[in-house]
Homo-oligomer: A and B are copies of this chain.
Amino acid sequence: MHRYKCIISYDGSDFSGYQIQPNKRTVQLVLENVLTKIHKGNVVKVAASGRTDAGVHAKGQVIHFDSPLQIPVNRWEAALNSLLPEDLAVLSVEKVHDSFHARFDAVGKEYRYVLQLSTKRDPFQRKYAYQYPYKLNVDAMREAVPYLLGTHDFTSFCSAKTEVEDKTRTIESIEITVDQDMLILHFVGNGFLYNMVRILVGTLLEVGSGDRKPSDLPQVLEARDRKFAGKTAPAHGLYLWKVFYK
């Protein structure tokens, strides 16, 4: 048996998220079907760094799988891509130690959230950026960032649906870049809870629109209650950008 680590990219628009669910087209299902085909019907399971929700994109999701096949490592990428649909691509394949695990070995992640600051509808961005037609005070948003950095209990920034017990996470950086009408929020941290990035974005947008003050954020964190944070920003602006390993 050989273990392979793959970096994959997908346009989340037509997937019901990453994880297998009955009767849904998910990234995991499509990957496992292709791998099972390559293995002549022998079921191959994949493990990812984590799930992504319906509509969320990935530029650098990481998965691993095991295979007994004697395919040279540099042939795997072409073999997989020739069978995968156009909205899901393998960017690299690497042979790794049997003990590597895409999820448990991940030490950090980068997510990006893309906003298009425009009053005009853009047919080319409708699935790839959240169109925000209102005024935004980007300086106020940047002022709010330091309150979120570091290690906190992020219960307020986590979907109430989550089953995770420990909601302590560390955010290493949040950068906000503006290029023409595109505003991108870059989040790097050791891990993110269910909907955490989207709730952080929704809350920062409420700061940018003047509905909250930057200095309100410590109280939001302290409340440890989802109701105190802002709205969950839409899925289609979110990209799992990179997964970090030791």
Q: Could you say which of B57, B81, B123 contacts A10, with CB atoms under 8 Å apart?
A: B123
How distant is the Cα of A142 from the Cα of B26 in the complex, in angstroms?
A: 44
User: Quick one: closest B residue to A8, CB to CB?
Assistant: B123
- In the complex, which residues of chain B have a beta carbon less than 8 angstroms from the beta carbon of A123? 9-11, 86-89
How distant is the Cα of A114 from the Cα of B165 in the complex, in angstroms?
A: 48
CB pair B9–A122 under 8 Å, yes or no, is yes
Each complex incorporates copies of this chain amounting to 2
- In the complex, which residues of chain B have a beta carbon less than 8 angstroms from the beta carbon of A134? none
CB under 8 Å from chain B, chain A span 56-100: 57, 59, 81, 86-89, 91
Is A135 positioned at the interface, with any CB of B under 8 Å from its CB?
no
- In the complex, which residues of chain B have a beta carbon less than 8 angstroms from the beta carbon of A86? 121, 123, 126
- In the complex, which residues of chain B have a beta carbon less than 8 angstroms from the beta carbon of A91? 120
User: Quick one: closest B residue to A91, CB to CB?
Assistant: B120
CB pair A124–B11 under 8 Å, yes or no, is yes
Q: Counting chain B CB atoms within 10 Å of each CB, which of A91, A121, A123 scores highest?
A: A123
Distance from A230 Cβ to chain B, minimum over Cβ atoms (Å): 25
In addition to A57-B124, A87-B123, A89-B123, 19 A-B residue pairs with Cβ atoms within 8 Å of each other are A9-B122, A9-B123, A9-B124, A10-B123, A11-B123, A11-B124, A11-B126, A59-B124, A81-B121, A86-B121, A86-B123, A86-B126, A87-B126, A88-B123, A89-B120, A89-B121, A89-B122, A91-B120, A124-B128
The 6 closest A-B CB pairs, nearest first, are A89-B121, A11-B123, A86-B126, A87-B123, A89-B123, A10-B123
